[in-house]
Structure 1
């Protein structure tokens, strides 16, 4: 027996409500599926860097340029995120990225006394990493999330200055 023949055996009011009920279920469930943020693999920082990162995590802002903090899974004091889609992701305690070896000052904006190394991401966004700090802090900014690609860095600079000391 096909689905159509089964539906025709139902009383008319039930048949009329079947399609709206299915559509309503989709409308209710779909945002939860789309809103589920992708996992972010937390870095495994060195012992000293781990302490700085845990302190930084507590000092990070609740919002970045209107985007609420919505941490990724699995929960970790070494990762944080703002916004849902696209979202800005912070990872603290990463290994020193190789692109800093090329010419770290070539493309290195300084925002509120925090120096950043910079590279592009495959999707057209940007990846920034603090330089000359006791722990490397990486911020991944997706394409189009902000009017200017360095805009969110100011939201993080004061917390980084206060919690991750200068030095190597």
Structure 2
């Protein structure tokens, strides 16, 4: 199976993927584009600019296209970056239609996406310096992209909730169904 984690920042995606990596030893974990780009010397603006999210989208798509093996867990999904791009203050400079064909074809390489939404009681405390409104906007945009599927992307989505062990169990149960 090829599975990508999706969600706004500080919802527990990385923790979930670490826990799944321990539970599913036959799976390989692919780090999120932000960390990979940083390791390669890419310098992100603070706060991230539109180009930073475009670069992460490119890298996310490349990772899905390059990695053709089974049993892979991707930390982040291309739709995460689409969510950030569509909510960015400079979003009018982003042409979503230009990217949709590649996003559609690349998402078809995934068996499903695990969506980790913001929960009523946050599992991870948001530092005071981070923009909680942006986080909520991106979460809402991701729910729209993943669950409402306005662009007919056709990707299966498993929305997980609860504490870490419960989230892991929900993914494992989905894997058992094939």
Task: Give TM-score, length-normalised by structure 1.
Answer: 0.26
Which structure has more strand as a fraction of its residues? 1
Task: Give TM-score, length-normalised by structure 2.
Answer: 0.25
Say which one has the larger Rg: 1
